[in-house]
Amino acid sequence: MRTELGLIVAREIRLRLLSRAALIGVGVSVLVIAGLVFFPRMAGNGTESDRVAVLGLSAGETARAAVLLPDNDVVAGTPGAKPTEDTPFVVAVTDRGIEATAWKSSRLGELETVTSRVQLAALSVGPEASRTALSLSAVHDDSDRVARTLIAYVVVMLLFARITTMSSAVTQALMEEKMNRVVDLLLPKVRPLSLLWGKVIGAGTVGLVQTCVMGAAALGMLLAAGDRTHLDIVVGVAGVAVVWYLLGFLFLGALYGGVGAMMSRPDDVPAVTVPLQMVSMLTVFANLAALQAPGARWADVLSTIPPFSATLVPLRYTTGEESVAGMALSAGVILGCALLLSMAGARLFTLAVRADSAGEAVRRFFTTASRRAAA
């Protein structure tokens, strides 16, 4: 069976990964990513700047600060001024030191850079002001937890989109080979289970390789553009999400493969795949709801039920709501379900080849199952 499985997997990878359409698709995706990364920076270069309100400086010192901060709009602030969305940085210089405040905590790094330039402009206020340690604070804390949650959601949903796309490809491939009567040549030499798993593993490998290529391109372009914000979070989230991509694809790939085993005509596709697409939409809605309450009881329950677990578990783990034991339980459930679905799909595939329609194959499947249960 290993030799059969290896041959089918290699065939799928060769047909899908190295095909002209696949290479063009990856190339176009990389170009789109490049546009998303670099275009906003080129379009916004020199046209938008953050306003910095400085307090306690003379007009000459404020002008000097503006020279030292050419990428910012430096203005003289009124006493007691606080940061706003329009003025995200406020720097107050006194003879006791410098107190700097940002509108959001995620921009404290930028605030530190801005404040160091204001220090140079404040040398005439007194030596204490230039040597005192900076006091940095923020009005709103939007840093680690929010960033982790949003990054996890984006990464997980992108991978889930790849799962559904490649799972649909499994269905299409099985249906086409049945229409072209290729299975008549394969089944005498290849077990149906090997054929189904070969399709699933091959398509999943292709999807993972393509996703990793696009992800590596995106990270490389962000680094080249000088954007290292939350880079450690992105890498950590991506690692967990890739593991659950594999688990989720084993489940959905087996499910779509079982569905594809029943179909022999293109007209069968909408009637059978629409319910599966509705389940995918429910998964998207569940993740949107989990953004608001990742620790809710309903999220605990759904995180153990496939295919919801494929996206909820990495999202909840990133926010600290999912334990290692919970992840192990969810992984065991989704692997067990994938195995059962693949066995059922292989049996359906065998019956569907000899049946005149998908309905007849399903009836034969349940008739055989009921007889075995009665025996």
Query: Is the torsion defined by CA of 186, 189, 192, 196 positive or negative?
Result: negative
Q: Which residues pair with 97 in a beta bridge?
A: 94
Strands 97-104 and 89-94, how do they pair? Answer: antiparallel
pLDDT per residue as tens digits for the range 82-112: 888 888 888 888 777 788 888 877 677 788 8
Q: What is the mean pLDDT of residues 28-41?
A: 70
Rounded to 5 degrees, φ, ψ at 88 are -75, -15
Q: Kindly state the tokens that stand for 92.
A: 């107050």
Burial of residue 79 (CB within 10 Å: 0-12, 13-18, 19+) is: exposed
Where residue 330 falls among pLDDT bands split at 50, 70, 90?
very high
Least confident segment among 189-193, 282-286, 305-309: 189-193
Rounded to 5 degrees, φ, ψ at 89 are -130, 135
Q: Between 236 and 124, whose confidence is greater?
A: 236
CA distance 336 to 338: 5
Whether the full predicted model's pTM is greater than 0.75, yes or no, is no
Least confident segment among 21-25, 251-255, 263-267: 263-267
pLDDT per residue as tens digits for the range 345-374: 777 777 766 555 556 656 666 676 666 666
For the chain, what are the domain ranges? 2-37+144-374, 50-140
Q: Between 144 and 245, whose confidence is greater?
A: 245
| Helix spans in the chain (H) | 2-17, 20-44, 59-68, 108-121, 127-131, 144-179, 183-186, 192-224, 231-262, 268-292, 297-302, 309-318, 324-354, 358-374
